[in-house]
């Protein structure tokens, strides 16, 4: 092969490699960023069905303190999870609920406010590497405007609730 052709091939090989890297980097996820008190968290957008505000919260007995009660959405009861009680042992004074999209179950999360929806590259999500018990409740974190925002792991909260109810 002549060097001219070889150089051409070398150049093509690099271009294809770049394209592949670009394609992989383009895999993006949509996250909803919200606040609980002054702390920011995120959830994968497809896990959220709707946001509602100012609906009555009804008490239910025999559940852990982080379950604040149930709300009525279209005639169906949704369990309300208060993450502020879960992490800070204090009730959140708020009336905004994120209704989650969970197959065969009904769960809502009490939050202070919705901040924004962001699209991030999957590669920008920092995995959780520590083995701290609290970190099991997060899927990873992103950096947004120099703040680290943890992405909630909904399944882990449901597992914790199941365990707490069984032990009561």
Partner 1 sequence: MIHNKVPRASAKTHEFLYFMYNTIETKQEIGFLINKDQVYTGFFLSKPLPVKSPYPCLNTIAEYNNTHVLVFNIDKYVKNMFSLEHRQDIDLALVIDTSFFSVKNKKLMQKITIKGGKHITADFIAVRLGITADIVNLSLTEIKMFPKNNKDKLNKEGFLGCRFPSPQGINYFIDLEKIVFNTLVKPENRL
Q: Which residues bind partner 1 (CB under 8 A)?
A: 55-56, 58-63, 67, 70, 72, 75-79, 104-107, 158, 161-162, 165, 168
For residues 107 and 103, what is the distance between their CA atoms, to the nearest angstrom?
10
- Of the two residues 146 and 168, which places its CB atom closer to partner 1 in the complex? 168
Minimal distance in Å, beta carbon 47 to partner 1?
15
Rg (CA), the chain: 22
In angstroms, how far is CA 69 from the centroid of its own chain? 22
Minimal distance in Å, beta carbon 112 to partner 1?
20
CB distance 116 to 30 below 8 Å: no
Upper half-sphere CA count for residue 13 (Cβ side, 13 Å):
6
Minimal distance in Å, beta carbon 149 to partner 1?
25
- Of the two residues 107 and 111, which places its CB atom closer to partner 1 in the complex? 107
């Amino acid at each position: 092969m002549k060097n001219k052709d070889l150089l051409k091939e070398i150049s093509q090989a690099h271009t294809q490699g770049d394209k592949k890297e670009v394609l992989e980097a383009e895999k993006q996820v949509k996250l909803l960023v919200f606040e609980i008190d002054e702390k920011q968290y995120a959830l994968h957008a497809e896990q959220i069905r709707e946001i509602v505000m100012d609906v009555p919260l009804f008490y239910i007995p025999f559940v852990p303190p982080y379950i604040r009660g149930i709300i009525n959405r279209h005639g169906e009861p949704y369990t309300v999870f208060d993450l502020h009680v879960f992490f800070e042992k204090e009730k959140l004074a708020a009336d905004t609920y994120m209704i989650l999209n969970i197959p065969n179950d009904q769960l809502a999360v009490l939050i202070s406010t919705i901040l924004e929806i962001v699209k991030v590259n999957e590669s920008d999500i920092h995995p959780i590497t520590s083995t701290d018990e609290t970190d099991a409740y997060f899927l990873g974190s992103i950096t947004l405007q120099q703040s680290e925002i943890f992405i909630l792991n909904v399944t882990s909260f449901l597992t914790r609730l199941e365990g707490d109810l069984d032990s009561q």
